Amino acid sequence: MSGDPQDLHEVDLLRELEHLHRTRNDTFLHGSPHALREHSMRTGDLEQEYLRRHPEREVNPARTRAGARGETVG
Protein backbone atom coordinates (compact mmCIF):
# COMPACT_ATOMS: atom_id res chain seq x y z
CA MET A 1 0.00 0.00 0.00
CA SER A 2 1.23 3.52 -0.60
CA GLY A 3 0.06 7.05 -1.06
CA ASP A 4 -0.75 9.88 1.30
CA PRO A 5 -1.33 8.58 4.84
CA GLN A 6 -4.19 11.08 5.28
CA ASP A 7 -6.08 9.25 2.51
CA LEU A 8 -5.89 5.85 4.21
CA HIS A 9 -8.87 4.37 6.00
CA GLU A 10 -8.14 3.61 9.64
CA VAL A 11 -7.89 -0.14 9.09
CA ASP A 12 -5.41 0.37 6.22
CA LEU A 13 -3.32 2.80 8.26
CA LEU A 14 -3.07 0.29 11.10
CA ARG A 15 -2.34 -2.60 8.74
CA GLU A 16 0.48 -0.71 7.04
CA LEU A 17 1.95 0.42 10.38
CA GLU A 18 1.90 -3.13 11.69
CA HIS A 19 3.64 -4.38 8.54
CA LEU A 20 6.34 -1.71 8.72
CA HIS A 21 6.99 -2.36 12.41
CA ARG A 22 7.15 -6.11 11.75
CA THR A 23 9.70 -5.67 8.94
CA ARG A 24 11.81 -2.93 10.55
CA ASN A 25 14.61 -5.06 11.96
CA ASP A 26 15.16 -6.96 8.72
CA THR A 27 15.22 -3.72 6.73
CA PHE A 28 17.65 -2.18 9.21
CA LEU A 29 20.00 -5.14 9.21
CA HIS A 30 19.85 -6.16 5.57
CA GLY A 31 18.24 -3.43 3.46
CA SER A 32 20.09 -1.12 1.13
CA PRO A 33 20.62 2.47 2.28
CA HIS A 34 17.80 3.51 -0.06
CA ALA A 35 15.44 0.85 1.32
CA LEU A 36 16.21 1.86 4.91
CA ARG A 37 15.68 5.54 4.12
CA GLU A 38 12.34 4.84 2.40
CA HIS A 39 11.23 2.53 5.19
CA SER A 40 12.10 5.16 7.81
CA MET A 41 10.31 7.93 5.94
CA ARG A 42 7.16 5.88 5.35
CA THR A 43 7.07 4.70 8.96
CA GLY A 44 7.48 8.26 10.20
CA ASP A 45 4.75 9.57 7.91
CA LEU A 46 2.31 6.87 9.01
CA GLU A 47 3.14 7.28 12.69
CA GLN A 48 2.60 11.04 12.46
CA GLU A 49 -0.77 10.46 10.80
CA TYR A 50 -1.77 8.02 13.54
CA LEU A 51 -0.80 10.56 16.21
CA ARG A 52 -2.70 13.29 14.38
CA ARG A 53 -5.83 11.14 14.39
CA HIS A 54 -5.37 9.99 17.99
CA PRO A 55 -3.85 12.86 19.99
CA GLU A 56 -5.42 11.60 23.22
CA ARG A 57 -4.37 7.98 22.84
CA GLU A 58 -3.85 6.03 26.05
CA VAL A 59 -0.22 6.04 27.17
CA ASN A 60 1.00 3.20 29.36
CA PRO A 61 2.79 4.81 32.35
CA ALA A 62 5.40 2.03 32.25
CA ARG A 63 6.34 3.25 28.75
CA THR A 64 7.41 6.67 30.04
CA ARG A 65 10.90 7.51 31.26
CA ALA A 66 9.76 7.77 34.88
CA GLY A 67 7.75 4.56 34.67
CA ALA A 68 10.64 2.68 33.12
CA ARG A 69 12.78 3.71 36.12
CA GLY A 70 10.08 2.53 38.52
CA GLU A 71 9.20 6.03 39.72
CA THR A 72 5.65 6.85 40.73
CA VAL A 73 3.95 8.99 38.09
CA GLY A 74 1.14 11.35 38.92
pLDDT in tens, 51-73: 999 999 998 988 888 877 777 65
Per-residue pLDDT tens over the stretch 32-57: 999 999 999 999 999 999 999 999 99
Check: pTM over 0.85? Answer yes or no.
Answer: no
Instruction: Show me where the domains of the chain are located.
Output: 5-68
Distance CA 39, CA 2 (A): 12
Alpha helix ranges (H) inside the chain:
10-30, 33-53, 65-68
What pLDDT is recorded for position 47?
Answer: 97
